Structure 1
Amino acid sequence: MEAAILSGSIKIMLPKLLSLVEKSWNLSKDIMRDIKFLEKELGMIVRSIDMELNAPRQDHGAALLLLSIEDLRELAHGIEDCIDSLMYRASWKQQSSLFRRRVQSPKTLLTGLQFAQKLQRMKQMVVEAHDRRQRYPVPAQTSGDAPSPSSSASDPRLVDADLVGVDEHRAKLLEQLAEAAEGQPMQLKVVSIVGCWGLGKTALAADVYKTEAGGERFDKRAWVCAALRSPGEVLANMLREFGSDCQESVLLDTSNVSQLCVQVRNHLANKRYFIVIDDIQTQAQWKRIKSAFPDDNDGSSRVVVTTTIQSVATACSSENGYVHRMSRLDEKCSKRLFSEKACPKKYLHYDQPDTTAILNKCYGQPLALITMGEFLKSIGWPIGRTCEDACNNIRYHMENGETFGDMRRALMRSYASLGGHALKACLLYFAMFPSDHPMRKKSLLRRWSAEGIVETQASCDAMKLAAENFDELMDRNLIEPIGVSNNGNVKTCQTYGMMREFILQLSVSQNFVTLFCDDKKEAGKYARRLSLHHKNAKDDDRFKNIDLSLVRSLTIFGEACKTVLNFSKYELLRVLDLEKCDDLKDDHIKGICNLLLLKYLSLGGSVTELPEDIAKLEHLEALDVRKTKDLSPMEVKGFFISWVI
């Protein structure tokens, strides 16, 4: 997953390097030659990473892959620093002499010689990384080494599920699966169960399957899982489920989907059937599978599908269907399910510790409640550690705890299913914000665009692509709306429960975000995106080992020390969000004029005026002054910024 983020960041970097070559900016022939060399190398690096991501491998090759990725990440960051430093240098040189006298001169402004030396170092890093890969090649793997999608999966029909608070859901589904009433369409009915991960969709479908498949109403029954499987594999498993009259299914060719469709139709022709397809991932997957079902003239057959994606559920049930949206458990049911898992019977007479913190983390999701209950039981609940202790180290347990295995796999599967780098990066970006901070959609899209997280295309601008990524995250139920306008448009959103903890753990471990929160720094080697939460940035000493000149995004919630608020240090900054910075003053704002690459600026606090030279920030696309006390959008319209609110 880390490699996917790196590959995507390099893809975004390539156009910047091409632009650098085209503009040339009076670069020497030697520098131009080095840039073209790195341009070719970057393209080869991306293809190499993509090939490694798609190639199956055994665990003993993983360490070598990580070693290579570490080399490539350092190279990618180094090249990006060179590109942005040169852009900053060019922007600085283009400013008037009066502006350069008024604004503090950057201390790390690259000279032509220094830039050439950095490029030479980048070239050397490419050679060294290549030599290291030659000395320690990753052994080639065969397809047999790849894990089977079903290798670790258990049949949910055989599991005694912990169904709490689902009576209403069950009754509604059974009502939809009942015999067609007079006047209803005489055709196949498809019922879709949709909701975010961990809500119990599969468990509910299995419960309904046991109820419906136990009688004599249906001639054919099947339960198949579609996750990580091709349509051919799903159809082959369906044939095997049909029973002893399908012994030939053992030798089925899963690549011949058309033939499999014919075989399924032959088995279902003129019969009543009930089929559950668990965890469908795409509309294309459903379209191929659906073509295997014969026309049902008497309307007696039923198909149930489960999915985490709203648009897929809608497509599955578009004709004579029903979409059932799962909801989270209420507080009473959440507490009941958690207590059943956490508290052994011999301790039922004990006074139960306060469970508020853990219930808030689980957010009414049954899988999270069961996982946390079993975990706390394993460490001595209710006489062991408190819920607060467990919550404080939840991300460590999610990554390493044995009882967290099912939840970890569910979360990782949701993340891995996101196509491409941009969508993954957009999701990880939510780690920049505290859990109690709803995010405005428009501001979020502007930030994604300003940081270059979404790849621009000739036929589509960055804001439109950012909006498409936002809509897909919403469609996949990975984020949820908080404020919605009268016409249904999302205004504010948030992450939730254990999904947020997973995003935090992943973004920090992949060096995507450097986070200061809970009186501790959670950082990797590189500080590209810096987020400071709730007065955890008041000590200057905590920042002495961070090179602020390389930070691309800075967001402050609460108070900050002088080092952090010295904006002359952030030469390559593109996003600056000070809306929730409590001690922001006019004097701090003067240093912002030094941020020549800044694209997004949000102000708050006691700011009463903007420095005149802010108009020189030619890359500034968005200026948000709504949270300032004395500034209004009309007062800053004259700065010729494309988006002032």
Structure 2
Amino acid sequence: MGTLLPKLFDILQKEYQLQKKTRGEIMWLMSELESMQIALLKISEAPIDQPPDEQVKLWAKNVRDLTYDIEDNIDKFVVRIDTPMPNNPHSFRGFIERSLDLMTKAKIRRKIGLDIRDIKSRINEEKERRDSFIQRAFKTVGIEEKTDYLVRRLMEGPDEELRQQQYVVSIVGFGGLGKTTLAMAVYKELKEKFDCGAFVSISLSPNMVGILKNMLHQLDEEKYCNINGATWDEGQLIDELREFLKKKRYIIVIDDVWDNSHWQTIRYALAENELGSRIIMTTRIVSIAKQIGGAYQLEPLSLDDSRKLFDQIIFPLKDKCLPYHLSEVSQKILKKCGGIPLAIITIASMLASKKGNEHEHWYKVYNSMGSGLEDKPDLMNMRKILSISYYDLVPHLKTCLLYLSLYPEDYVFTSKTLIWKWVGEGFVETEQGSSLYEAGREYFDELMNKSMIQPVDEDGLETRYRIHDMVLDLITFISIEEHYLTRLDGHQSLSLPKKIRRLSLQTNVEEDVKQLATISLCHLRSLTVSEQSFNLLPSTLSSLCPLLRVLDLNCDGVENQHCKDICNLLHLRYLKLSCDCITELPKEIANLQFLQVLDIYHTHVKELPPSFIQLKRLVYLHVNGWYMRLPDDLGSLDMLQEIGDIFYIDNPTMLHNLGGLAELRSLSIDIIKWDESYDKAFIQCLSKLVSLEFLKVIGTVGSTCGSNLSPGPQRLRSIDMSDCTLTAVPRWMSSLSSLSTLSITLLTLGEEDLQILGDIPSLNYLDIQVRKATPDRNKRLVIDNVSPFQCLTQLSVVSVTMEVRFAPGAMQNLRNLEFYINVRETVDQFGDFDFGLENLSSLDSVGVRIWGSDSKMSEADDAETAIRRSLHMNGKNPTINLHRHDWA
């Protein structure tokens, strides 16, 4: 409804020369739909202890289908009338575009704007809560003792002979108890003690070939770097694993086993070699754990640990306690949660976000929770508990969460991919001045805050996320019930609805896809294809689903000739192609006049056709910038907000093109060889990027010290210039009023550099790397209250000799300091280790790395003693984390 009503309003506002009667019918239709929307909002805002009955839900479903059909017809009309006339630049479409500024906002848009502002306010209040604790709470309450116990059990056999045998521990327990979290904790604790290791998930309907390939890749990333492209079958992969592990002491985690046959397949691949290897398995099924042996029954949290987990989510800052008037109801809630961490986290996260009259609301939550969980924690009761958090969401967040039902179990995804998909679906609404991605990120953060989405710990990679199996179970159940999204994944018997709006194909089973031939897909709006399902589709995409808006093809079988057909999908808003066989895009890409998101990073496309610049509605472009040039006239895409990946810049003209992107929010560039011709072009480009919020520059860069940056990117919050070396801090940085995070590498550090850095008004985090000490300097640079650094709370300095000293009154808000020194060179240059740490009045923690190569042990001792003495004199009594390196 939120996207349909504005479209109707647009049709009335634009000069489409509608008949008077038609205009009247549209106005009547808008009035009726607004009345329906009011009723729907009342239903969604009903108390959580009064869920809608079946008749109301059926009515809501019918209204949804009605709005879909109306919107389909509108889109058909708009696409036809808005198609550009290729030989006439002064076309009717051009007149329509010139009329856009005359449009006003409908009443419903104003209402949505108010809702979004209210949501923003709530998100800002809860960000600190999310960042500081919620996602870590699960890992810190009640798990330490269990981890220690399992580590001892795995490693401390009664004698040496038994310790050398292969040993298996199976962790068994109900979904949501934390089996995976415990297994991961034990795995991380022990991995360094083994030759190699792997952590793989099986789930309900596993792809055994993919799992075995994943295991090989984790065991030896270098040897099996191209394993995913190998055509080995299951038997060949098992033989390869047995051969590889024959002489290795390994630790393997097999997570979420549902079927004993799947376990036996993997068990056979894990060669026994009397080297003391260890295997950890998790399952919800007691019989499987008993068959495997070494069963460890994971019990629910004790009442005390449940209380700790609950309280830490409600009060993450640990400086408050639960009010007396909430103690009784909280005990009742915890009793119903039955010690299941997932239930405690989801319920506590929801309660924590509520303000005002907590007592009444908490009792409503308690009364709506499924009964009997403490006696028999079965699936339906967990659904009831999780559904409370679902129905507590505002309408647009329900829609966004249900969209996650397109993913299979244990699927990991990036926030960026999901958010841009929401944008393509039309789920994201923005206020003036904010970007679509920003608004979508707030939606994502709110779902994180509600513990509906969990981060996956993957060191060294972009943060990835998943949804808990029980949450997936819930939203899949709701999605099927409401005909929201259909997923064919090869293991569930599904009666397909008459009208499919969103489809996710994740199957190699031809019988599954054959079901699609029996129904019409002409109403399909979103299609996600993985595995080898693409070649099983009964027809071309343009004839099969002409109204498609979102297309995500992550599968084999898609080639260049298919792209021409895809370019006939005139309604596309989101297009992602992850197919190695695609090497070029056709000129017909210009047909996609409504396209907002284009992601072809995982293809071999090296050049975009000239017609690409006709995609005037494009807001996000993701290509592999390491080998693709930015197209000429890219600056004409004046709605583009983000360019994914890093782009090579090999001439100043490319910077000039970038300067035309006035809506650009994020930019990463690699300037191959900087010379004086780039200085002016860079400053001019930056001056025009008035919406820029993040900038990363790598390569060989000069000083870029020009001070004239007008109007300049006053929204710029983060600059990363750590992968290039500047001769000085650019003076224009001090004019950036919103800059809060700066990472910069300097050839040498001087007084003027510190002055410019200190004058950046909102600087909160500063990371400075200095390549070499200033010659002949024997007195440290002093930072005092004359160099304001008024907002700085975190400082990291990597410098051979730590050339700065803090005077009284310096950096009065600094809480965390990290620095590096070389003992020998510091003594040679300055003769002491006096950094003035005692003068930092707000300091909470200090991290120091002392490098002692070619130095005397006594000098390193002197450095450590001086630093500890200085911190002891600091009235804040900061903690210290000090490391000494290389005493040879």
Name the TM-score, length of structure 1 as normaliser: 0.51
Does the Cα contact within 8 Å between 1:197 and 1:414 map onto a contact in 2? no
Does the Cα contact within 8 Å between 1:509 and 1:524 map onto a contact in 2? no
Q: Give 1:502's aligned residue.
A: 474
Residue 304 of structure 2 corresponds to residue 207 of structure 1: yes
Measure, in 2, the Cα distance between the counterparts of 1:280 and 1:496. Answer: 15
Residue 502 of structure 2 corresponds to residue 511 of structure 1: no
Measure, in 2, the Cα distance between the counterparts of 1:78 and 1:21. Answer: 19
Residue 574 of structure 2 corresponds to residue 600 of structure 1: yes
Secondary structure, counterpart of 1:610 in structure 2: coil
The correspondence for 2:145, drawn from 163, 168, 182, is 168
What does the per-residue CA deviation read over 1:581-612, in whole Å, with 9 as the maximum and x for residues that have no partner? Answer: 21111111111221222122111321121111
Measure, in 2, the Cα distance between the counterparts of 1:240 and 1:39. Answer: 45
Q: Give 1:107's aligned residue.
A: none
Q: Give 1:447's aligned residue.
A: 421
Q: Give 1:555's aligned residue.
A: 528
What does the per-residue CA deviation read over 1:26-73, in whole Å, with 9 as the maximum and x for residues that have no partner? Answer: 322222111111111111001112234445799998243234224322
Q: How does 1:132-281 map to 2 (within 5 A)?
A: 168=145, 204=301, 206-207=303-304, 279=348, 281=350
Shift of 1:456: 3.2
Identify the range of structure 1 (71-80 vs 519-528) with the bigger mean alpha-carbon deviation. Answer: 519-528
Aligned residues: 386
Shift of 1:96: 3.1
Shift of 1:17: 1.6
Does the Cα contact within 8 Å between 2:349 and 2:451 map onto a contact in 1? no
* Residues 203/496 of structure 1: CA separation in 2 closer, same or farther (3 Å cut): closer
What does the per-residue CA deviation read over 1:295-342, in whole Å, with 9 as the maximum and x for residues that have no partner? Answer: xxxxxxxxxx9xx9xxxxxxxxxxxxxxxxxxxxxxxxxxxxxxxxxx
Shift of 1:455: 2.6
The residue type equivalent to 1:281 in the other structure is: M
* Residues 590/50 of structure 1: CA separation in 2 closer, same or farther (3 Å cut): same
Secondary structure, counterpart of 2:507 in structure 1: coil
Q: Give 1:626's aligned residue.
A: 601
The correspondence for 1:28, drawn from 19, 24, 36, is 19
The residue type equivalent to 1:168 in the other structure is: E
* Residues 406/521 of structure 1: CA separation in 2 closer, same or farther (3 Å cut): closer
Measure, in 1, the Cα distance between the counterparts of 2:430 and 2:517. Answer: 36
Secondary structure, counterpart of 1:438 in structure 2: coil
Secondary structure, counterpart of 2:463 in structure 1: strand
Secondary structure, counterpart of 2:594 in structure 1: coil
Largest Rg, 1 or 2:
2
Q: Give 1:544's aligned residue.
A: 517
The residue type equivalent to 1:429 in the other structure is: Y
Does the Cα contact within 8 Å between 2:479 and 2:485 map onto a contact in 1? yes
> Which residues of structure 2 form unaligned runs of 5+?
89-140, 149-174, 180-298, 316-321, 332-346, 608-622, 645-888
> Which residues of structure 1 form unaligned runs of 5+?
1-9, 99-163, 172-195, 212-221, 227-232, 243-277, 291-304, 309-366, 376-402
Does the Cα contact within 8 Å between 1:599 and 1:619 map onto a contact in 2? yes
Does the Cα contact within 8 Å between 2:44 and 2:395 map onto a contact in 1? no
* Residues 285/50 of structure 1: CA separation in 2 closer, same or farther (3 Å cut): closer
Q: Give 1:433's aligned residue.
A: 407
The residue type equivalent to 2:397 in the other structure is: L
Shift of 1:524: 3.2
Secondary structure, counterpart of 1:549 in structure 2: coil
Residue 497 of structure 2 corresponds to residue 524 of structure 1: yes
The correspondence for 1:17, drawn from 8, 16, 19, is 8
Measure, in 2, the Cα distance between the counterparts of 1:65 and 1:209. Answer: 37
Measure, in 1, the Cα distance between the counterparts of 2:548 and 2:459. Answer: 33
The correspondence for 1:534, drawn from 501, 504, 507, is 507
Does the Cα contact within 8 Å between 2:350 and 2:450 map onto a contact in 1? no
What does the per-residue CA deviation read over 1:258-295, in whole Å, with 9 as the maximum and x for residues that have no partner? Answer: xxxxxxxxxxxxxxxxxxxx9373556578779xxxxx
Does the Cα contact within 8 Å between 1:551 and 1:570 map onto a contact in 2? yes
Q: How does 1:354-365 map to 2 (within 5 A)?
A: none
Q: Give 1:322's aligned residue.
A: none
Name the TM-score, length of structure 2 as normaliser: 0.38
Shift of 1:576: 0.9
Measure, in 2, the Cα distance between the counterparts of 1:593 and 1:241. Answer: 56
What does the per-residue CA deviation read over 1:158-209, in whole Å, with 9 as the maximum and x for residues that have no partner? Answer: xxxxxx96573999xxxxxxxxxxxxxxxxxxxxxxxx97669x97473369
Question: Which structure has more strand as a fraction of its residues?
Answer: 2
Residue 86 of structure 2 corresponds to residue 96 of structure 1: yes
* Residues 71/508 of structure 1: CA separation in 2 closer, same or farther (3 Å cut): closer
Does the Cα contact within 8 Å between 1:607 and 1:628 map onto a contact in 2? yes
Q: Give 1:468's aligned residue.
A: 442
Measure, in 2, the Cα distance between the counterparts of 1:82 and 1:615. Answer: 23
Identify the range of structure 1 (72-81 vs 531-540) with the bigger mean alpha-carbon deviation. Answer: 531-540
* Residues 90/286 of structure 1: CA separation in 2 closer, same or farther (3 Å cut): closer
Q: Give 1:477's aligned residue.
A: 451
Q: Give 1:40's aligned residue.
A: 31
Shift of 1:451: 0.7
Does the Cα contact within 8 Å between 1:622 and 1:644 map onto a contact in 2? no
The residue type equivalent to 1:279 in the other structure is: A
What does the per-residue CA deviation read over 1:112-165, in whole Å, with 9 as the maximum and x for residues that have no partner? Answer: xxxxxxxxxxxxxxxxxxxxxxxxxxxxxxxxxxxxxxxxxxxxxxxxxxxx96
* Residues 406/70 of structure 1: CA separation in 2 closer, same or farther (3 Å cut): closer
Measure, in 1, the Cα distance between the counterparts of 2:350 and 2:46. Answer: 21
Measure, in 1, the Cα distance between the counterparts of 2:406 and 2:358. Answer: 40
* Residues 372/625 of structure 1: CA separation in 2 closer, same or farther (3 Å cut): farther
Question: Which structure has more helix as a fraction of its residues?
Answer: 1
Q: Give 1:317's aligned residue.
A: none
Q: Give 1:76's aligned residue.
A: 67
Measure, in 1, the Cα distance between the counterparts of 2:476 and 2:424. Answer: 22
Measure, in 2, the Cα distance between the counterparts of 1:372 and 1:90. Answer: 61
Does the Cα contact within 8 Å between 1:596 and 1:617 map onto a contact in 2? yes
